[in-house]
Amino acid sequence: MSKLARLAAVLAAIALPVAAHASLPVGATAPGIVAKGAKGGKDIDFDLRSALRRGPVVLYFYPKAFTQGCTLEAHAFAEATDEFARYGATVVGLSADDLPTLRKFSTEECRDKFAVAVASPATIKAYDVALERKGVPAGMTDRTSYVIAPDGKIAFVHSELDYRDHVKLTLEAVKKLAAK
């Protein structure tokens, strides 16, 4: 199968509606993540435990950088970054994309506002976000957003390939955490 045919199959599979993914439940302890990533085109080391010391963390897994839904979702998170920050939250996007792709995505689509990091196979498994659909290459992530409270517990989960509600719902969850 040619690269173009493979990409077309991935885009078609991502565009189809799908039932909610299993994901980790609210109240579970979030698995630790240490990953290479990028913010504003610069390499970063992301450590979930360190980030939680500053406040809640929004981890959003997305299937593939520079695809339509992932690009629109990144734009929406970028536009809301300041509001997340007002409530002490850090936003981090994760995908199985390689670091050079994430460097470019962090600047062009995340608009230098938040970090994106490499979701390793172990991270994808730990967070139960493997995108398993016919025609989709192994290793891609489902579109799942987690809000993790500073105590390391999962406070909110939204798993849906349609990107449109991820920002709104995670921001509402962050606001609820701040109100406690």
> Annotated active-site positions, please?
70
Using an 8 Å Cβ cutoff, are 135 and 9 in contact?
Answer: yes
Instruction: Return the SS3 of 89.
Output: coil
**Phi, psi dihedrals of residue 136, rounded to the nearest 5°:** -105, 125
SS3 93: strand
Q: How far apart are CA 107 and CA 20, in angstroms?
A: 30
DSSP per position, 5-61: HHHHHHHHHHHS--PPP--PPTTSBPPP-EEEEEETTEEEEEEHHHHHTTS-EEEEE
Pairwise CA distance, residues 161 & 159, whole Å = 7
Q: Which are the contacts of 16, defined by CB distance < 8 A and separation ≥ 6?
A: 133, 161
